[in-house]
Structure 1
């Protein structure tokens, strides 16, 4: 039992180290930690594993990947979804009820998706891309890009089965950044090169007809740019609007690197010095 407890302690220390401490520290000694997670349980990551890290950090403010519509006027969570972060936060609030919880995703995210005719995913576009590739209809360069994307995606899926230490390691960011680049940028370039994506249409979430080409462009911009930019602005807002001195950002692993990079580029807005330790 002592050996097991010792191993658990070591793992927790490793994860906190890998969190990039993303310690942005100013004269008031505010600290910001960014923890990349997966939303649904895997063999190595669940609410309990995230809760252990929260307990070690002891944040006075937790920022959760949710939009404001799931919070009431008193900043209480309306609905706890069946996701790892919500389960961990719910238990931590029972233990530490004075902890502040704030949403930082794009305000009214789901409503904005619908207004823009978007769903959460773009699976139909990827299915058509796979069919095109299998039929040998891609150019050589596009075929290379598509194969690279699939290679990175397989590495990403393997990574998702790892521990919080694995997910938050520096080398993991390279894989995740590559997946995002090929998923949102390179794939969009491929789609724009073939008439079939203009000729093929679908019914969007707002019941309007839209070409797959236009849908994918709007979807990738929404997920890759609009949401990440809004997250950064909301995080900064919450940093300055509370007196919390230790802040934990819980984020889906694909958002972690863009958030970290954007925050590190805003020293004047944050008035924090970023200290990275692994």
Structure 2
């Protein structure tokens, strides 16, 4: 009897310790520039309500070094964070982005292959030069974009809703998977090229493929960085400020790898 009671008390105490030290992660899907749907003031109010110990920015280590100095007047995340750090100077402001993101994409020809490929796809679609299957894929892509753009006239809470995430998940799947079916099978994309910084050429087809693959690599890297920082700040409250189109992907990864040391909290519920 005493042994059973001891075990019950032991596991209760273990649960209490875990509950006390569990890190809280708040994912906030943002738009980077001041707009009708989000302003620095709105974002600052959210930070004030959550009271984070750590704020994670969609920056890499080099970008975070100039975060306090190279100020963009229309940046929602930067201005809201600066106001919060001024009021709560002990708050940690850290990066969680894929290291060297922009240079990595340029070096491998992903940029501007991404935009050039979409422009060519759109031209072929408008001219009805795609086959029936390809026309359907691109039409679905346009429809998903239209649905997402409608959220620009809604509230910031709706932008962070499961409904938005559901539409965004579909849109990103089409953009990074279905459109590749067109670019990989259509010679238009094999015969158009861009020049990489090293002077070598890469086809729209291959550049776009690399860009699509990078979508997975980037989101996985960001999720891993968030988990690492959470483990380094056990029991703290963390706010992750990420572009809203990344939110569903990062949230799914954090849920997938959740081991009890942290919990993902939905501020908007």
Displacement of 1:142 after TM fit?
1.4
Corresponding position of 1:166: 158
Displacement of 1:238 after TM fit?
0.6
Contact 1:202 1:210 in 2 (8 A): yes
Moved over 4 A (4+): 75-78, 273-277
3-state SS of 1:122 partner: helix
Corresponding position of 1:253: 244
**Which consecutive unaligned segments of at least 5 residues does structure 1 have?**
1-24
Displacement of 1:185 after TM fit?
1.1
1:1-278 → structure 2 map (5 Å cutoff): 26-72=19-65, 77=68, 79-81=70-72, 82-119=74-111, 122-222=114-214, 224-243=215-234, 245-268=236-259, 271-274=261-264, 278=269
3-state SS of 1:191 partner: helix
3-state SS of 2:186 partner: coil
Question: Which structure has the larger Rg?
Answer: 2
Structure 1 window deviating more from structure 2 (75-84 vs 133-142): it is 75-84
Displacement of 1:83 after TM fit?
1.8
Contact 1:76 1:101 in 2 (8 A): no
TM normalised by structure 2 equals 0.86
3-state SS of 1:66 partner: coil
Distance in 1 between residues matched to 2:113 and 2:127, nearest whole Å: 24
**Post-superposition CA distance 1:109-152 (Å, at most 9, x none):** 22222322332772211111112112222221211111111011
**Post-superposition CA distance 1:212-257 (Å, at most 9, x none):** 00010011111x1111011011101111112461110010001000
Q: How many residues align?
A: 250
Structure 1 window deviating more from structure 2 (224-233 vs 128-137): it is 128-137
CA RMSD of aligned residues (A): 2.1
**Post-superposition CA distance 1:180-230 (Å, at most 9, x none):** 1111111111111101100111123444211000010011111x1111011
Contact 2:37 2:153 in 1 (8 A): yes
Contact 2:34 2:76 in 1 (8 A): yes
TM normalised by structure 1 equals 0.83
